[in-house]
Amino acid sequence: MDGKSLSSEIAGPKLSPYRHFSRDEWAKLRADTPLTLTVEDLKRLQSLNDPISLEEVIAIYLPLSRLLALYVAATQGLFKATQRFLGADDGKVPYIIGVAGSVAVGKSTTARVLQALLSRWPNTPKVDLLTTDGFLLPNAQLERLDLMERKGFPESYDTNKLLRFLSDVKAGRSRVEAPIYSHLTYDVVPDQKVSVDRPDILIVEGVNVLLPSRLPRDGKETPFISDFFDFSVYLDADEDQLETWYVARFMRLRSTAFRDPRSYFRKYADLSDEEAEATARSIWKRINLRNLHENILPTRARASLILTKDASHRIETVALRKL
């Protein structure tokens, strides 16, 4: 075999760790999974400028719900078998799902829809949702470290605190506290916490949750955030489309939340349309696009499932990691 043929074979789809599905192929996997959400439910669950329809839930999220039901049951069975083997009694351990992807791709909507669907299962009534925004360093600290222009990059988080939180949750500890973040003030809220108390499932949403830590040269244990995940979802879309969605969201916020006197972005509320769009595109290119290229996109291939959107936010393809 010549070099060209060998390289073609190596690069071929047979070596992909994923099984790929078209939208129609994936939708058929719903089987008899019941639809438990209404149009009114979806209106409450969707994020600003991130439309989602019942048809999308039926085609994409009901098959995913069915798959996760199988995975959770299998993991619970394995955990119980391991407990019997070890003679241990560690109590209930939550199944943790990570949701990753770029700014403006629709992670929050996906996470909330999954939470709503999974909480309607008879065997997992308690499903909690946490965003990693609360683990960002406070703005005052970011300013001291000259990191405000890199907010959302790995170095802007208190990663050790996030790892301790996930470790405690995965250990089955009760009332594990996490910081709260305000998108209005664009900062961690001082002295306010949210408590996670031994849920059946915990969904953790954030741009960099699949990013591995730097491996130590001495071989010591170095936990990754994703080490605590049982399953992970990466939301994907074309870069130009992500920018379009980000700018559209910025423009809508300019006439709503930005006008609140408490808003960190109040300074943008009175810009002209041209100035506001130029500002949004500048922020996207300086911060969000760089973060996407340097940290977020490289983690896509670490996800259990990749959902790829088209220009209308409609998920067109699904890639599921092979077992």
pLDDT in tens, 43-88: 889 887 788 999 999 999 999 999 999 999 899 899 888 888 988 7
Q: How many CB atoms lie within 10 A of CB 180?
A: 15
Which pLDDT score is estimated for 112?
96
pLDDT, the chain, mean: 91
Percent of the chain with pLDDT over 70: 94
**Tally of CA atoms within 13 A in the half-sphere of 87 that contains its CB:** 0
Least confident of 117-121, 301-305, 315-319: 117-121
- Stretch 131-138: mean pLDDT: 98
Which pLDDT score is estimated for 5?
39
- Stretch 281-291: mean pLDDT: 97
| Longest Cα–Cα distance in the chain | 69
Which residues partner with 307 through β-bridges? Answer: 235, 318
Using alpha carbons, select from 231, 313, 214 the residue that is nearest to residue 67: 231
pLDDT in tens, 254-283: 988 899 999 999 999 999 999 999 999 999
Which pLDDT score is estimated for 139?
97
Banded model confidence at residue 7, pLDDT cuts 50, 70, 90: very low
Whole-number Å distance between alpha carbons of 15 and 9: 9
* pTM (predicted TM-score): 0.91
Using alpha carbons, select from 58, 6, 3 the residue that is nearest to residue 27: 58
Please report the domains of the chain, with CATH numbers, ordered by start residue: 18-321 (3.40.50.300)
Which pLDDT score is estimated for 90?
67
